[in-house]
Amino acid sequence: MITLTVDTKKWDKLKKDLQQLDRIKLQLGWFGTHYGSENDNLPHAYVAAINEEGTEKIPPRPFMRVGLKQELKTDTKAFATMIHSVVSGKSVMNAAKTASPAFVAMLKKIMNEWSSPPNAPRTVAEKGFNNPLIDTGELRDSIQVKVEGR
């Protein structure tokens, strides 16, 4: 007769660790950063919101509500990085921090590729190119990520 004993301790720990991912709050955006005095010290988050929502003179370009949401559904590499980190023994917080650069890169890519609606001809002439979300690149380059436990 053969007796088989299964030790589920490691599996149970892994399941518990993966469930901890629900307690992580990962925020992607602009936190307390501003343009310089040449741009009235406008907060980057304010300018991002103007681009996202639009104004009377600027059409909305929902790069976060639509673009980022769609990208998160189709590009799962950042989530896979987090899960792999947990499986490899990192804490959930460290796993989220490890994956953070991938989320920043994802939003930068969206901003680089966003094209609709295009800039007005006058704006294209002033900038020398037609990328509605990029002027100097400062807004894109100031994207930050915050990782907090809940």
For residue range 35-73, list pLDDT tens digits in order: 999 889 999 999 999 999 999 999 999 999 999 999 999
Calculate helix-pair angle for 92-113, 77-87, nearest 10 degrees: 170
Task: Give the model's pLDDT for residue 1.
Answer: 83
* Predicted TM-score (pTM) of this structure: 0.84
HSE toward the beta carbon, residue 107, CA cutoff 13 A: 21
By residue count, the chain amounts to 150
pLDDT tens digits, residue range 111-133? 999 999 999 999 999 999 999 99
Half-sphere exposure in the Cβ direction for 9 (13 Å, CA): 2
Vertex 99 angle, CA 33 and 22, to 5°: 95
